[in-house]
Amino acid sequence: MCFSETASFAVATACAFAGALAVFKSPSLNHLPLAAVPLVFAVQQASEGLVWRTLDQVVGLPAPGWPATLFVFIATVVWPVFVPLSVLLAQEDGPRKRIIAALTATGCLVSLVFVVRLVNADVTASVAGASIQYTSQIKPGVSLPLWLLSEAQGGADWILVPYAVATIGALACSALPALRLFAGLVAAVLVVLLAADQDTLVSVWCFFAASGSLLLIPAILSASSGFRKEPAESAPGSRRLPADSRGP
C-alpha cells in the first residue's frame, strides 16, 4: 500500500467526523475520552499529512518541524496514557477495571520515558519506501542513561513491549466487544509490521490504528442505547424492581 498526503488527510477527515459523532452520542462524561479517540487520531493523521507535504518540498532530505514532532508526541506520549485511561473511565467496576487501572499506570510510565526522550531530542522525518520513518536525534551535549537512549522510533525499541501491553491490553480487557475487536486488529497489524518493516512501524501502525478507531462508533452507540433503556426499565408500572429492592 502506498501512503501519501492524500491518504493521511482522508483518514483524518473520516476520524474527525466519526469522533464528532461519537462525542455527540456519548452517554456520559466517563465515555467522552473514549469517544474522543478518533478526534485525536484526526489531529495525528492531519499532522502526518503536513509531514508528507514538507517532504515533497525537500525531496531526499529529512524533514524537521512541528508536524513531525506533534505526530511523534501523540504516538509516544499521548496514546500510552490516553488509550488505557479512556477505557478505564468507560469500564464498570469489577476485575476488568482493576486490570485496566494497572495497565494505565504502565502507560503513564511509558509516556514519562518518551517525554524525557523528546525533550532531549530533535525529531525528523524521512521517506522510507512508501511510508515515513521518524527519527529522534539526541541533542548535542545531552547525557542520558543508556536504557533511555534510542534514536529509532520503531520495532527495535525495547519500550514497544510495555507500550503494546498498556494500549492493546487495555482495549482487550474492555467489556465492550467493539474495543476487543479493535485490540485484535491493532495487535495483528503490529505483528505484521514487526515482521515486515520495523523502520516505518510508527507511521504505518498509527495509520491503520486511526482507520480501525472507527470501530469505536458502534461501541459508543451501543453504550448510549443501554443508557437510554435504563430509565424505561425503572419507570412507574415497570415490573422490574431496582437492584437494591430485590430479595436475596
For the stretch 21-61, pLDDT in tens is: 999 988 889 999 999 999 999 999 999 999 998 887 766 55
Cell of 45: 493523521
pLDDT at 158: 78
Closest CA to 208 of 22, 45, 72: 45
pLDDT at 211: 94
Residue type, 35: A
pTM of the full structure? 0.84
Could you tell me the mean pLDDT of each successive run of 10 residues in the chain, 248 residues long?
Answer: 84 96 90 95 96 78 79 96 96 92 97 89 85 84 66 62 95 92 95 85 94 87 61 43 38
pLDDT at 241: 35
pLDDT at 48: 95
With a CB cutoff of 8 Å and minimum separation 6, the contacts of 149 are: 138
pLDDT at 215: 86
